[in-house]
Structure 1
């Protein structure tokens, strides 16, 4: 998820702890109460600092940044401890245990889990496994997850006497929406499986800014991908079939670390290689799970020289946001 959502989720998790109540004391938050809220937000944001450590070409950085060891479950206690120590330095006298435990919950449930439920996925099993896991429930940026949390934070600031209940209600709305997405994902997956009974595998993916329509890819016998869209209130609509080409690259090209990283990212790879005028090869690795009416909108382009060294690498998103919107509208117009 995006950093704003991470931070707002962390704030909501911090609000779940009941504040200290001291008989006879004025109604002010204790140092522990304040440290819990600050540490929860910090713990929800700290894992993404790994983007500062990513090195290499644009493809390697794009795939490894935000998905390094700081996003692993084994590192969660260390991230939580870092947030705890920072918050206790700000608020002297804050108790260690409640601040640390809330921070740990924030790392797991405000950062690792939301990254896991996106289509991009994350490597939560590092260093034991380099696999990128994904639940495919939402896009990385989903306004229907973020807006209730943001509205709750604004209202909590304005209505400070009832701030905790306001934050919890806003978090409940976001959680309910994610629950709806999970149920929708399950229903639509079954519907696509029924439409392709011979499919070896079926995956359903979120569509940007859409609640009722999802993308899908079915792997058919003969290493063929069938891609299309499936609405909540209708049958799947296939847009394209394409041969899986992930294994067509020569072994010496697949061995290039940047190429290998892009191939590991692409779950439904469409690969194209062509010679460059100045020598060497241009390798384009697209993933059909990011498609617009069957045409991939996200691809990594890697230029290799004659010795297989990377001379240029970039992420292609299929154009600007306005260009993608025009393509979407033209596809709708052309559809029967």
Structure 2
């Protein structure tokens, strides 16, 4: 998920802990109460510092450096401890145990889990497994997850006497929406499976800024991908069938670490290899799970010299934001 959503989820998790109430005094925030909220937000944001420390080409940064060990379950206690120590340095007298435990919950449920439920995926099992796991319930940026949390935070700031209840209501609305997405994902997966009884695998994916329509890809016999859209009310509409070439890349190209990383990322890869003007080769690895009307919108383009060294690598998003929006509108309006 995006960093705004991570932080707001962390704030909501911090609100789950009942504040201290001093005997004989009006209810007010204790050092522990304040440290819990600050540490929860910090713990929800800290894993993404790996993007600031990353070095290398676009593929390495996007796929290997980001969502690496800082996003693994085994690193969660260390991230939580870092957030705890920072918050206790700001609020002297804050008790260690509640701040650390809330921070640990924030790392797991405000960062690792939301990253896991997106289509991009994350490697939560490092260092034991390098697999990129994904639940495909929401896009990385989903306003319907974020808006209830943001509205609750704004209202809590203005009505501080009801801040905790307000934050929890916002979290409940956001959680209900995610639950709706999970149920929708399950129903639509069954619908696409019924439409492709011979499929070896079927997967549905969220559409950008859309609730009622999802994308799907079905793997058919003979190394064929069928891509299309499936609405909440209606049958799947196939947009394109693509015959894939599993061995399109020679072994020496597949052995290049940057190429290997991009191939591991692409669950439904469309691969192109062609010579470039400098005497080397250009590799384009797209993933059909990101498609509009059957045409992939996200790919990694890697330039290799004659010795298979990477000279340039970039992420191709299929055009500018305005171009993608026009294409998406055209898809939504298509019969």
Q: Answer yes or no: is the 8 Å Cα contact 1:246–1:263 preserved in 2.
A: no
Match of 2:256 in 1: 256
In 2, Cα distance between equivalents of 1:40 and 1:73: 17
Superposition map of 1:160-239 within 5 A: 160-239=160-239
In 1, Cα distance between equivalents of 2:263 and 2:316: 15
SS of alignment partner, residue 240 of structure 1: strand
Q: Answer yes or no: is the 8 Å Cα contact 1:244–1:268 preserved in 2.
A: no
Match of 2:278 in 1: 278
In 2, Cα distance between equivalents of 1:262 and 1:143: 28
Farther off after superposition, 50-59 or 134-143: 50-59
In 2, Cα distance between equivalents of 1:105 and 1:204: 29
Q: Answer yes or no: is the 8 Å Cα contact 1:268–1:289 preserved in 2.
A: yes
RMSD over equivalenced CA pairs, Å = 1.0
Farther off after superposition, 180-189 or 321-330: 321-330
Task: State the shift of 1:97 in Å.
Answer: 0.4
Match of 2:294 in 1: 294
Superposition map of 1:54-133 within 5 A: 54-133=54-133
Match of 2:26 in 1: 26
Residues 1:312 and 2:312 aligned together? yes
Q: Quick one: structure 1 residues 311 and 88, their matched pair in 2 at CA, closer, same or farther if it must change by over 3 Å? A: same
Task: State the shift of 1:332 in Å.
Answer: 4.9
Match of 1:137 in 2: 137
Map Cα deviations across residues 279-324 of structure 1 (whole Å, 9 max, x no partner). 0101000000000000000000000000000111100001111111
Farther off after superposition, 57-66 or 255-264: 57-66
In 2, Cα distance between equivalents of 1:171 and 1:328: 30
In 2, Cα distance between equivalents of 1:115 and 1:51: 15
In 1, Cα distance between equivalents of 2:213 and 2:144: 15
Task: State the shift of 1:219 in Å.
Answer: 0.4
Q: Answer yes or no: is the 8 Å Cα contact 2:118–2:134 preserved in 1.
A: yes
Compute the TM-score of the two structures, normalised by the length of structure 1.
0.98
Residues 1:322 and 2:322 aligned together? yes
Q: Answer yes or no: is the 8 Å Cα contact 2:67–2:122 preserved in 1.
A: yes
SS of alignment partner, residue 151 of structure 1: helix
In 1, Cα distance between equivalents of 2:9 and 2:233: 31
SS of alignment partner, residue 66 of structure 2: coil
Q: Answer yes or no: is the 8 Å Cα contact 1:298–1:317 preserved in 2.
A: yes
In 2, Cα distance between equivalents of 1:331 and 1:144: 21
Q: Answer yes or no: is the 8 Å Cα contact 2:248–2:273 preserved in 1.
A: no
Compute the TM-score of the two structures, normalised by the length of structure 2.
0.98
Q: How many corresponding residue pairs?
A: 335
In 2, Cα distance between equivalents of 1:283 and 1:316: 12
SS of alignment partner, residue 197 of structure 2: coil
In 2, Cα distance between equivalents of 1:329 and 1:91: 50
In 2, Cα distance between equivalents of 1:147 and 1:170: 9
Q: Answer yes or no: is the 8 Å Cα contact 1:57–1:313 preserved in 2.
A: yes
Q: Which runs of 5+ in 2 are unaligned?
A: none
